[in-house]
């Protein structure tokens, strides 16, 4: 390295397993990963970074500068920033719609008998979903009910009339629907709204930033709708998660097994691979292995963790690294959050990258054209590719960091309610509201979202989680945030001993005591609620808390935090959290700061209208203060109003 040149810092992670692999790789001077590419990418463009670069028409790019305060067409900075933002929301919603639509297609095929390897695994969930949607459940066969539920989902995806979308109307408190009516952001349907947003942001259409943002929030509600549909349909097809016990981080790789990482988002494929892998022990043994071991990366990893207890290999940012251990035989990917960079790394490590979806390919990779009609056969094809790779890697150097942590996961809302019901069978959620009312808990926080190299990998999530634990906040987590917690040992009972404050410890102890005959192990510090799509499970918890207190969501001491947000999906999720009344911390400042107006709407005006608002804060210590302040304010108000309501014998929601 030449003198004076800035030292390359590619150690932007606190995960010891990732660090071990990075350091060894650096020493050998070999393979480039995201950690190096991030360094090489600096400095990044500040126009893009602040949202003031417009490439919507072919006259662009137009950038807002002191010299040119408007685009060539005359678009102000606020229009450009707002357009870019809501296109990101639309992109995130499009990705979730893609995921959930695929679940919908699969269930339609199940119904028509065209997907023989799948069946309705959880008919109780089917009944619950149908009941919630207001469908007649009594005396109905599964198939009849499923058809009715799917028709409803198709309608929410595509109807062009103005009546409310069922998945929105039946899953949020009525006060929320009134706000959406008042602000004119009731969506017609998921697909129409995505199309509307793309139309509204075409060159020369909507120039009004507030109007644009409201269209973006409408789109984010569609994100919520299709995510909820995705979770409900996945539960119907594969079962509603219950507590599972496993491990996380690179130490789960077993050099004597055929190791397969499932990576991406869609449980249709990963569930099948996990099932088939269990049945292919003999084939693996014939190749000299002890068996086939599946492990998960990113959100499809969370899907099979939640339902099958499959170990967590790693989360988004470190997805390239496990291959460098020399013991990964295949990485099977479907859609979303898959770095194309995995291919180059795989070439050095004998790992086979297998793409499986027609619209998600990586040049030079194996492609197994996955289909619901032949799911098991296709999954076998994938596992066979891994077995072949296992044979080829014999004699290669293997070096697996000995890092792994115990994990308890599987906390669907149903599973959480089940745990709570051991204390209060009639009103399980009251166990939480009572604990907040008494001051034992300060509130509830959801950790969601990705990793982002703008901050140190895993550091923001883990720092904030530990601090909130100390401050007696009940925590739930999804996605790659839950992945950080899993890898670094926060998803187990030992973490409660290490990090929980007195109130949180007492709260969890009470639950442990009441469930001691039911749960195999004591409860973890943080409840893993699933993949990113399952953020709707966490919002269902918010709704349940609101109903229990009998208030609208903006009064509930519940905060969402995406400390390391990265993707467009994170932008759309954050936006619906705000629209649905939740204070939402984002640990990476999004591309809106180029317009004080748009930034101000996100940070302040949103609260006046929707009750939720954003908090941008990259410093994890300061984020903790802001999150606690948001929880305390709401908990304090609740208490005052509760006392007043009791004193005057009025309803809690009256006059608030």
Q: Is 223 or 372 the residue whose CB approaches ligand NFS more closely?
A: 223
Q: Per CB under 6 A, which of residues 35..94 are in contact with ligand SF4? A: 54-57, 59-60, 62, 71-73, 75, 80
Q: Which does 624 bind (CB under 5 to 8 A by kind): ligand SF4, ligand NFS, none?
A: none
Q: Is 88 or 236 the residue whose CB approaches ligand NFS more closely?
A: 88
Instruction: In angstroms, give the least distance from the CB of 56 to ligand SF4.
Output: 4
Q: Which does 299 bind (CB under 5 to 8 A by kind): ligand NFS, ligand SF4, none?
A: ligand NFS
Q: Is 559 a binder of ligand NFS (CB under 6 A)?
A: no
554: Cβ contacts below 8 Å, ≥ 6 apart? 581, 610, 611, 612, 634
**Total interface residues for ligand SF4 by CB under 6 A:** 13
Which of 34, 258, 368, 570 binds ligand NFS (CB under 6 A)? It is 570
CA-CA distance, 396 to 255, in Å (whole number)? 11
CA-CA distance, 134 to 131, in Å (whole number)? 5
Q: Which does 569 bind (CB under 5 to 8 A by kind): ligand SF4, ligand NFS, none?
A: ligand NFS
Q: Which does 476 bind (CB under 5 to 8 A by kind): ligand SF4, ligand NFS, none?
A: none
CA-CA distance, 317 to 458, in Å (whole number)? 9
C-alpha 313, offset from chain centre: 16
Instruction: In angstroms, give the least distance from the CB of 80 to ligand SF4.
Output: 6
Round the CA-based radius of gyration of the chain to a whole number and report it: 24
Q: With contact defined as beta carbons under 8 Å apart, do 167 and 141 qualify?
A: no
Instruction: In angstroms, give the least distance from the CB of 497 to ligand NFS.
Output: 28
Q: Any bridge partners for residue 585, and if so which?
A: 561, 615
Q: Is 64 or 133 the residue whose CB approaches ligand SF4 more closely?
A: 64
Q: Which does 268 bind (CB under 5 to 8 A by kind): ligand SF4, ligand NFS, none?
A: none
- The pair of three-digit structure tokens given for residue 273, joined into one six-digit string: 């691979």
Instruction: In angstroms, give the least distance from the CB of 252 to ligand NFS.
Output: 18
In the shown chain, the binding pattern of residues 295 to 314 toward ligand NFS, with x for contact by CB under 6 A and - for none, equals ---xx---------------
Instruction: In angstroms, give the least distance from the CB of 404 to ligand NFS.
Output: 20
3-class state of residue 559 by DSSP: strand
In the shown chain, the binding pattern of residues 324 to 363 toward ligand NFS, with x for contact by CB under 6 A and - for none, equals ------------xx--------------------------
CA-CA distance, 518 to 64, in Å (whole number)? 61
Q: Is 624 a binder of ligand SF4 (CB under 6 A)?
A: no
What secondary structure letter does DSSP report for 604? I
Distances (CA, A) of 215 to 97, 104, 211, 445: 17, 26, 6, 27
Q: With contact defined as beta carbons under 8 Å apart, do 509 and 479 qualify?
A: no
Q: Which does 566 bind (CB under 5 to 8 A by kind): ligand NFS, ligand SF4, none?
A: ligand NFS
Q: Is 85 or 149 the residue whose CB approaches ligand NFS more closely?
A: 85
Q: Which does 544 bind (CB under 5 to 8 A by kind): ligand NFS, ligand SF4, none?
A: none
Q: Which does 554 bind (CB under 5 to 8 A by kind): ligand NFS, ligand SF4, none?
A: none
Distances (CA, A) of 76 to 84, 202, 238, 592, 598: 13, 15, 49, 13, 12
Q: Which does 62 bind (CB under 5 to 8 A by kind): ligand NFS, ligand SF4, none?
A: ligand SF4
Q: Is 479 or 583 the residue whose CB approaches ligand NFS more closely?
A: 479
- The pair of three-digit structure tokens given for residue 572, joined into one six-digit string: 């759309």
What b/e sequence results for 578-597 when a residue is b if at least 16 CB atoms lie within 10 Å of its CB, and e otherwise? bbbbbbbbbbbbbbbbbbeb
In the shown chain, the binding pattern of residues 498 to 537 toward ligand NFS, with x for contact by CB under 6 A and - for none, equals ----------------------------------x-----
Largest CA distance in the chain: 79
CA-CA distance, 249 to 313, in Å (whole number)? 5
Determine the Cα angle at 556 with ends 552 and 558, to 5°: 135
Instruction: In angstroms, give the least distance from the CB of 619 to ligand NFS.
Output: 21
User: Which position's Cβ is nearest ligand NFS?
Assistant: 479
Instruction: In angstroms, give the least distance from the CB of 49 to ligand SF4.
Output: 17
CA-CA distance, 524 to 465, in Å (whole number)? 13
Which of 150, 566, 586, 635 binds ligand NFS (CB under 6 A)? It is 566
CA-CA distance, 525 to 496, in Å (whole number)? 5
Calculated CA dihedral for residues 615, 619, 622, 628, nearest 10 degrees:
60
Please state, as a whole number, how many other Cβ atoms lie within 10 Å of the Cβ of residue 402: 10
Instruction: In angstroms, give the least distance from the CB of 592 to ligand SF4.
Output: 16
Q: Is 83 or 457 the residue whose CB approaches ligand NFS more closely?
A: 457
Q: Is 184 a binder of ligand SF4 (CB under 6 A)?
A: no
Strands 473-478 and 526-530: parallel
Residue of 488, 564, 492 lying closest to 18 (CA atoms):
488
Where does this chain bind ligand NFS (CB under 6 A)? Answer: 298-299, 316, 336-337, 449-450, 479-480, 532, 566-567, 569-570
Where on the chain is the footprint of ligand SF4 (CB under 6 A)? 54-57, 59-60, 62, 71-73, 75, 80, 203
């Amino acid at each position: 390295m030449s003198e004076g040149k800035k030292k390359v810092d590619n150690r932007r992670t606190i995960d010891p397993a990732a660090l071990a692999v990075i350091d060894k790789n650096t020493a050998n001077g070999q393979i480039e990963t995201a950690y190096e590419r991030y360094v090489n990418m600096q400095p990044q463009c500040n126009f893009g970074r602040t949202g003031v670069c417009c490439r919507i028409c072919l006259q662009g790019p137009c950038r807002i500068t002191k010299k040119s305060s408007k685009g060539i067409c005359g678009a102000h900075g606020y229009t450009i920033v707002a357009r870019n933002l809501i296109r990101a929301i639309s992109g995130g919603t499009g990705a979730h719609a893609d995921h959930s639509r695929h679940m919908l297609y699969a269930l339609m095929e199940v119904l028509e008998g065209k997907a023989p390897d799948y069946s309705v695994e959880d008919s109780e969930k089917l009944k619950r979903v149908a009941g919630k949607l207001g469908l007649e459940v009594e005396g109905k066969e599964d198939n009849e009910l499923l058809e009715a539920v799917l028709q409803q989902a198709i309608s929410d995806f595509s109807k062009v009339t103005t009546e409310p979308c069922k998945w929105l109307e039946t899953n949020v408190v009525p006060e929320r629907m009134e706000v959406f009516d008042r602000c004119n952001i009731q969506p017609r349907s998921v697909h129409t709204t995505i199309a509307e947003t793309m139309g509204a942001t075409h060159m020369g259409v909507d120039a009004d930033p507030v109007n644009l943002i409201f269209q973006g929030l409408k789109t984010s509600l569609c994100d919520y709708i299709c995510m909820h549909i995705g979770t409900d349909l996945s539960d119907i097809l594969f079962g509603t998660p219950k507590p599972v016990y496993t491990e996380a981080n690179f130490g789960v790789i077993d050099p004597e097994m055929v190791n397969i990482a499932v990576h991406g988002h869609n449980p249709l494929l990963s569930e099948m691979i996990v099932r088939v892998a269990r049945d292919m022990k003999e084939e693996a043994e014939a190749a000299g292995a002890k068996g086939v071991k599946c492990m998960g990366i990113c959100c499809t990893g969370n899907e099979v963790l939640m339902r099958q207890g499959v170990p967590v290999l790693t989360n988004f940012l470190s997805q390239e690294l496990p291959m460098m251990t020399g013991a990964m035989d295949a990485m099977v990917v479907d859609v979303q959050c898959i770095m194309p960079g995995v291919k180059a790394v795989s070439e050095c490590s004998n790992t086979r990258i297998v793409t499986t979806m027609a619209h998600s390919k990586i040049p030079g990779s194996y492609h197994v054209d996955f289909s619901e009609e032949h799911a098991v056969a296709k999954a076998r094809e994938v596992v066979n590719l891994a077995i072949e790779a296992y044979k080829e890697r014999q004699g290669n150097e293997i070096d697996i960091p000995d890092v792994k942590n115990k994990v308890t996961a599987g906390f669907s809302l149903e599973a959480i309610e089940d745990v709570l019901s051991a204390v209060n069978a009639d009103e399980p959620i009251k166990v939480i509201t009572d604990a907040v009312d008494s001051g034992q808990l300060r509130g509830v926080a959801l950790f969601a979202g990705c990793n982002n190299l703008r901050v140190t990998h895993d550091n923001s999530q883990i720092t904030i989680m530990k601090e909130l634990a100390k401050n007696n906040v009940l925590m739930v987590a999804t996605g790659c945030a839950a992945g950080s917690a899993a890898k670094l040992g926060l998803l187990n009972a030992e973490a409660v001993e290490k990090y929980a404050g007195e109130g949180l410890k007492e709260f969890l102890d009470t639950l442990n005591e009441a469930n001691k005959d039911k749960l195999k192990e004591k409860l973890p510090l943080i409840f893993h609620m699933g993949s990113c799509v399952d953020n709707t499970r966490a919002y269902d918890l918010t709704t349940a808390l609101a109903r229990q207190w009998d208030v609208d969501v903006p009064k509930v001491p519940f905060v969402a935090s995406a400390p390391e947000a990265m993707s467009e999906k994170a932008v759309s999720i954050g936006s619906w959290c705000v629209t649905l009344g939740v204070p939402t911390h984002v640990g990476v400042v999004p591309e809106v700061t180029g317009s004080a107006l748009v930034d101000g709407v996100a940070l302040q005006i949103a609260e006046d209208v929707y009750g939720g608002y954003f908090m941008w804060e990259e410093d994890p210590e300061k984020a903790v203060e802001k999150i606690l302040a948001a929880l305390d304010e709401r908990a304090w108000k609740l208490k005052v109003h509760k006392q007043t309501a009791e004193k005057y014998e009025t309803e809690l929601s009256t006059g608030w």
